[in-house]
Amino acid sequence: MEAVRVQAIASLSKCMDTIPSEFIRSENEQPAITTVHGMVLEVPVIDLGSWPDEENLVRSIADASREWGIFQVVNHGMHTDVISKLQKVGKEFFELPQEEKEVYAKPHGAQSTSVEGYGTKLQKEVEGKKGWVDHLFHKIWPPSAINYHFWPKNPPAYREANEEYAEKLRGVVDKLFKSLSLGLGVEGHELKDAVGGEDLIYLMKINYYPPCPRPDLALGVVPHTDMSTITILVPNEVQGLQVFKDDHWYDVKYIPNALIIHIGDQIEVPFFFFTSHIYNFNYTCHWLYIHNHVKSV
């Protein structure tokens, strides 16, 4: 049985002022009610390329991780073209005819354990709700872990854009792991070693948020922390990311070509080993809201 995609639901709903009930959030999760309007949260912005010495960079990353669990990095060594190519092929994939996208659909059924592929979260949450989002999910590193069956052949530049991004991403991740390790007072390689070392798997997830006729009632991605070690978000100019701080939800300022770094849940385990929680890093609860006439990838 073929899943009903949110993109298709959005097309059917665009002339109406309503959405299916499974997408309507409870009042305490509706962006129109819970957002602190007019305020943009100034999460730390760290320049990876201009620190006069490593010690100050390490301190800056460690402080941001402990106090916020989220920060933005600029001058990270990833050229603008690499980011724009990745965003371009992601948008082009979701503009393909539906039958072409379904070629890359996640396997489904009782026997399937795969998380890779094109999909929509079919399971409802505890309260019976869903997020207004479709996605494409696959591994991009190491080469031994990649299943190219889930990499679209269209657009033609998809593979090249992802491989180029993966190569540059590894440099950013290595710098972050080193700084986080040194910030904990251990050798620069220890944190990365603790979460997999050179066998650490890098995952690509491209989220597509169709226009929604009632963005005041729905969410693209529901409140969550990240189950990964580190999540690196490539944002675009469509505002959507919010983080929870001081009992309110705040917009995170968009900075062109910056990368947004989330400290994930899995880092809790090695941090416990290294620090017994004395210097525990924070992992921030966040969500993605959506728009009426604007799509976002």
pLDDT at position 167 is 96
pLDDT at position 286 is 44
pLDDT at position 195 is 84
* Mean pLDDT computed over 69-88: 94
Helix, strand, or coil here: 242? strand
Indicate the pLDDT class of residue 279, thresholds 50, 70 and 90. Answer: very low
Instruction: Give 20-63 pLDDT, tens digit per residue.
Output: 888 888 777 776 555 555 566 688 999 998 767 888 999 999 88
pLDDT at position 242 is 78
Indicate the pLDDT class of residue 266, thresholds 50, 70 and 90. Answer: low
pLDDT at 69 over 60: yes
Instruction: Tell me whether residue 297 is in a domain.
Output: no
Instruction: Tell me whether residue 1 is in a domain.
Output: no
pLDDT at position 292 is 59
Instruction: Tell me whether residue 261 is in a domain.
Output: yes
- CATH code where residue 32 lies: 2.60.120.330
Instruction: Tell me whether residue 293 is in a domain.
Output: no
* Mean pLDDT computed over 250-276: 69
Instruction: Tell me whether residue 294 is in a domain.
Output: no
Instruction: Tell me whether residue 201 is in a domain.
Output: yes
Q: What is the separation, in whole angstroms, between the first and last Cα of the chain?
A: 26
pLDDT at 273 over 50: no
Average pLDDT, rounded, for the chain: 81
Instruction: Give 200-226 pLDDT, tens digit per residue.
Output: 999 999 989 888 888 888 887 766 555
Instruction: Give 95-144 pLDDT, tens digit per residue.
Output: 999 999 999 999 876 456 678 999 887 555 556 678 888 999 999 999 99
Measure the CA–CA gap between 131 and 242, rounded to whole angstroms. Answer: 15
Measure the CA–CA gap between 122 and 103, rounded to whole angstroms. Answer: 18
- Given a contact cutoff of 8 angstroms between Cβ atoms, the answer to whether 188 and 181 are in contact is yes
The b/e string for 117-126 (b: 16+ C-beta within 10 A; e otherwise) is: bbbbeeeeee
Instruction: Tell me whether residue 12 is in a domain.
Output: yes
Q: How many domains does the chain have?
A: 1
* Mean pLDDT computed over 238-266: 80
pLDDT at position 144 is 96
Q: Between the ranges 13-22, 23-32, 75-84, where is the mean pLDDT highest?
A: 75-84
pTM of the model: 0.84
- Given a contact cutoff of 8 angstroms between Cβ atoms, the answer to whether 41 and 245 are in contact is yes
Instruction: Tell me whether residue 296 is in a domain.
Output: no
pLDDT at position 112 is 61
Q: Between the ranges 39-48, 185-194, 231-240, 274-283, where is the mean pLDDT highest?
A: 185-194
Domain that holds residue 178: 6-288
- For residue 84, give the H/E element and its range: helix 80-94
